[in-house]
């Protein structure tokens, strides 16, 4: 029996991050707005999640429209108007069928290139990055647009005070190009893993073939997102801590070498516990969760874009990306941050 995949640098050319963009829908939902309709308080939300506001889509918007905006910005950042592939990480596709990525590609003027969705929930962006690296190192594409986009506001029970305050909508994207393994922006080895025995800790019970084929009608709340918070907290900290250690080892670093930790923005308590477990000073752990909430697959690229914009992430920093989500799934990778501007 084999364990989780832990791959070193690709045998072929490296995939180099050369463009970065993020986009949030304009509508902001503050904690005060949620308090008006949920049995909760601003203090309760902030103390348990660290979130004070989040962005949500308005009528006429979708995951695809957010992905198009973020993708266009990443291409502008890279000073490119085309790429050889589009990989979209999302758990909230525009439709169950077909995938959302081909339409996103077409709207970006990229019709004809391979484009597909990746579903690994909040770990999706790191998984999509690994696939982008594979496409480049195998020679399938010279460059790739990797997008994380989700609209969890469409999945939340409007009466659930535990999940309602946590999630926001958004999209972030990066452009990868073929390059040298030693140049800034080259992605290092990936640590990826899953534990399907715990798949029910984060789920939407209805809507898939399991429920539809059961012959049992879905319950009134079975189409909404649900998670078992205490167990998710424990596994998130455990899995991301271990995954970061493996990715750092692959890079030939130690934890002390990490200048910036870009972790999936699940909630502030998980982020604090992760830094503590790693023995990493809190100031090295990037965070924007207070302003955007948990944006699922969009979380890491949005975080990177914000950190570049505010100057907390600069060229030359040793960066670790790490994520955790439903499945259960987790993943991490490393890079030396390149000189680029986020759009």
Looking at the annotation, which residues are catalytic? Answer: 122, 264, 294
Residue 192 belongs to what H/E stretch?
strand 190-194
Give one word for 109, left, alpha or beta, with left for phi > 0 and alpha for psi -120 to 50.
left
What gap in Å lies between CA 153 and CA 168, rounded to an integer?
A: 6
CA-based torsion, 167, 310, 279, 195: positive or negative: positive
| Per-position DSSP letters for 228-289, written without gaps between them | -HHHHHHHHHHHHHHHHHHHHHHHT--GGG-SEEEE--S-HHHHHHHHHHHT--GGGB---H
Give one word for 214, left, alpha or beta, with left for phi > 0 and alpha for psi -120 to 50.
alpha
Residue 177 belongs to what H/E stretch?
strand 169-179
Strands 260-263 and 318-325, by their bridges, are parallel
Cβ contacts of 261 within 8 Å, gap of 6 or more:
244, 274, 275, 278, 280, 284, 285, 286, 319, 320, 322
Instruction: Of 166, 129, 97, give the one whose Cα is nearest residue 20.
Output: 129
What gap in Å lies between CA 202 and CA 211, rounded to an integer?
A: 16
Residues 151 and 169 sit within 8 Å (Cβ to Cβ): yes
């Amino acid at each position: 029996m084999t364990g989780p995949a832990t791959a070193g640098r690709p045998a072929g050319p490296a995939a180099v991050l050369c463009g970065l963009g993020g986009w949030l829908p304009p509508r902001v939902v503050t904690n005060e707005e949620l308090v008006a309709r949920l049995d909760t308080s601003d203090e309760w939300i902030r103390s348990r999640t660290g979130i004070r506001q989040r962005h949500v889509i308005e009528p006429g918007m979708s995951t695809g429209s957010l992905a198009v905006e973020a993708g266009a910005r990443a291409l502008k950042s890279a000073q490119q108007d085309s790429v050889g592939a589009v990989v979209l990480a999302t758990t909230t596709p525009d439709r169950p069928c077909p995938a959302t990525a081909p339409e996103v590609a077409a709207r970006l003027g990229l019709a004809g290139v391979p484009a597909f969705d990746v579903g690994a929930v909040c770990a999706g962006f790191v998984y999509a990055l690994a696939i982008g690296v594979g496409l480049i190192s195998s020679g399938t594409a010279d460059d790739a647009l990797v997008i994380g986009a989700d609209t969890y506001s469409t999945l939340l029970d409007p009466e659930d005070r535990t999940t309602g305050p946590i999630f926001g909508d958004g999209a972030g994207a990066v452009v990868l190009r073929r390059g040298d393994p030693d140049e800034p922006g080259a992605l290092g080895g990936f640590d990826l893993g899953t534990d399907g025995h715990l798949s029910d800790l984060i789920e939407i019970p209805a809507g898939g073939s399991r429920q539809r084929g059961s012959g049992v009608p879905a319950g009134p709340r079975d189409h909404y997102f649900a998670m078992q918070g205490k167990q998710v907290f424990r596994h998130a900290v455990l899995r991301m801590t271990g995954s970061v250690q493996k990715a750092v080892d692959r890079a030939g670093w130690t934890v002390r070498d990490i200048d910036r930790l870009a972790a999936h923005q699940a909630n502030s308590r998980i982020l604090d516990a992760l830094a503590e477990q790693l023995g990493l000073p809190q100031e090295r752990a990037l965070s924007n969760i207070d302003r955007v909430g948990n944006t699922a697959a969009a979380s890491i690229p949005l975080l990177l874009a914000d950190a570049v914009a505010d100057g907390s992430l600069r060229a030359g920093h040793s960066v670790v990306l790490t994520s955790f989500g439903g499945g259960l799934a987790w993943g991490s990778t490393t890079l030396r941050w390149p000189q680029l501007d986020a759009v």
